[in-house]
Amino acid sequence: MRRPPRAGSGRTGSGPARPALAVVLVILAAFAAACSPGSATPSAGEVPIGATAWPSGTTGQYGLHIDPSLLGRLPRNVGAYPLVEDADSEAAALSDADLAKTFDNYAAAAVGLIGDVNTLQLVIGHLRPETQTPDVYTAWVSEYATGACSQADGVSGTNQTTINDWVVDVSTCSGGPIVYSLSLGNGTILSMFDLGPKDLGRMLINQLN
């Protein structure tokens, strides 16, 4: 069902875990150094994975599980561009203790490379049961946007809109990129850093079921 709640059941608790701004910066830096999508070989029905990814997933020292099956929620291609698992960003996430306090399962992917005219970097994660609250969702949206836009002169504006019947939080970076975040329901959050005139982030959301 579309138009999912922003997160979980609305239970606020006394001290929800906050996502780590630092890991967003590390992930975006890793994205800049990622391998070209053209080097990956897709399997039928799967998002292509790079040579250093973990097809069956892996768990880091702090308990965060890299789960490539999360990418099955997403289209294999965005327009004419393949969506490719981003193992470098996932490896960076594994070493972040605070991120593991917020998410139990996590994956990253990219369309294109930094430097291309059109690029999209995304993370998709499943919140731990105790962090499936509106407060945690709101904190993640804000911190992801702050981290992403720190690469593009900061956040210049935020709003919430509806795209393809999904409620989407949108942040605009002063340097031009757009950041999208939305709840896919059942504790799963998708966040994207979009650069380029094709607006690949909006295109991907329009392909979601």
| Residue 5 belongs to some domain of the structure | no
| Beta strand 178-185 pairing with 103-111 | unpaired
| Residue 8 belongs to some domain of the structure | no
State the first-to-last Cα distance of the chain, in angstroms, to the nearest integer.
8
Domain count, the chain: 1
Q: Do residues 83 and 76 lie in contact, with contact meaning Cβ atoms separated by under 8 Å? A: yes
d(CA 180, CA 201): 7
| Residue 12 belongs to some domain of the structure | no
Structure-token pair, residue 196: 């380029």
| Residue 11 belongs to some domain of the structure | no
| Residue 142 belongs to some domain of the structure | yes
Residue ranges making up the domain that contains 68: 21-37+47-207
* pLDDT tens-place string over residues 96-135: 999 999 999 999 999 987 778 999 999 999 999 999 999 9
| Residue 1 belongs to some domain of the structure | no
Query: Which pLDDT belongs to residue 90?
Result: 94
DSSP 114-164: BTBSSEEEEEEEEE-GGG-SHHHHHHHHHHHHHHHHTTTT-EEEEEEEEET
| Residue 65 belongs to some domain of the structure | yes
| Residue 172 belongs to some domain of the structure | yes
Residues of the chain with pLDDT below 70 are 1-53
